[in-house]
Amino acid sequence: MAIGGVGAGGGAGGVEGQQGRSVLVTGGAGFIGTHTVLRLLEKGYAVTAVDNFHNSVPEALDRVRHIVGPALSARLQFIFGDLTIKDDLEKVFAAKRYDAVIHFAGLKAVAESVAHPEMYNRNNIVGTVNLYDVMKKHGCNKLVFSAPAPATSRPCSATRTPRAVLSCRRVVVSGHSVELG
């Protein structure tokens, strides 16, 4: 695992508020992740993105930095890490306290998930359980989970699936907001 970029802090001229709040975005270099990181920075959050570049490239976050400019870029930290490796997540959470986590680090190609179900189960389920465990350990209990369809396509209700895996207070699964425990 490597840590790059500048840590949270720096100027926040023109941001919309939320200074001081910190959000971790898993899969932050991916398609939805980069758009989310960009919007969070514009909203004034300090953002940490973690990604293993399985389906993305470092240049994606460089583009985000280019769009938001140097002041807001100073509030973006990138950490190279794999959610299936718990030590990587421990290091992410040891680095700072997060007010919330937005979880996009999943594999989602349907055909590939049929060809390699074990790889998909391991990545999407183990990664999510590891994330939950480390969040719980560090007292972070706000999670937005963009669930990968290949991992949740069995017929089950949106209210039951996350309850089986997660027990934080609120989770949003593919547009369904679910209150937990």
Residues lying near ligand NAD in the complex (CB under 6 A): 27, 29-33, 51-56, 82-84, 104-108, 123, 127, 146, 148-149, 174
Nearest approach, Cβ of residue 60 and ligand NAD (Å): 8
Spatial distance between the Cα atoms of 65 and 88, rounded to a whole number of angstroms: 24
Nearest approach, Cβ of residue 71 and ligand NAD (Å): 25
Spatial distance between the Cα atoms of 175 and 3, rounded to a whole number of angstroms: 31
Question: Is the CB of 20 or the CB of 119 nearer to ligand NAD?
Answer: 119
Spatial distance between the Cα atoms of 169 and 128, rounded to a whole number of angstroms: 16
Spatial distance between the Cα atoms of 156 and 174, rounded to a whole number of angstroms: 13
Bridge partner list, 3: 79
Question: Is the CB of 16 or the CB of 112 nearer to ligand NAD?
Answer: 112
Question: Is the CB of 55 or the CB of 121 nearer to ligand NAD?
Answer: 55
- Give one DSSP letter per residue of 81-150, joined into a string: --TTSHHHHHHHHHH---SEEEE------HHHHHH-HHHHHIIIIIHHHHHHHHHHHTT--BEEE---HH
Nearest approach, Cβ of residue 40 and ligand NAD (Å): 15
Question: Is the CB of 83 or the CB of 140 nearer to ligand NAD?
Answer: 83
Question: Is the CB of 30 or the CB of 75 nearer to ligand NAD?
Answer: 30
Nearest approach, Cβ of residue 179 and ligand NAD (Å): 20
Nearest approach, Cβ of residue 27 and ligand NAD (Å): 3
